Amino acid sequence: MKEIRIIIAESSDIMLNGISAMLNGNPEIKVTGKVSSYSALSKLLQDNPIDVVLLGPILTGKYPHELSKELKIDFPSAHIVEIELKDEPDSIIDKIKKAVAA
């Protein structure tokens, strides 16, 4: 399987760094960017080819489902994965792989 390039969007530094560390431990996944706001995410997406945008559960300003709708319009080739606080590491990785396979 080809390496999956991901940008993580999450306002909480603890969550952002924890998600990043968990994903970096997987050889199939490469975290290519981490952002804490939609404006930073939008700018990063314009400049970097990615496969998945991983929306954390605590992104300030908008709910993940609102951002997901906007991202699908602005960046239609990006796969959007929303995670919840209750998600376990294996379920997050499964969500990512399913999104890329779709």
pLDDT at 54: 94
H helix intervals, 6-88? 13-24, 38-47, 64-74
Tens digit of each residue's pLDDT (9 = 90 or more) over 28-79: 999 999 999 888 888 999 888 899 999 988 776 667 777 888 888 888 888 9
Domain residues for 41?
4-101
Q: Which two tokens stand for residue 75?
A: 């960046």
Domain count of the fold of the chain: 1
Residue 30's CATH number: 3.40.50.2300
* pLDDT of 80 strictly over 80: yes
**Residues near 5 by Cβ (< 8 Å), separated by ≥ 6?**
30, 32, 48, 49, 50, 51, 52
Average pLDDT over residues 9-28: 92
pLDDT at 61: 67
pLDDT at 89: 92
pLDDT at 60: 63
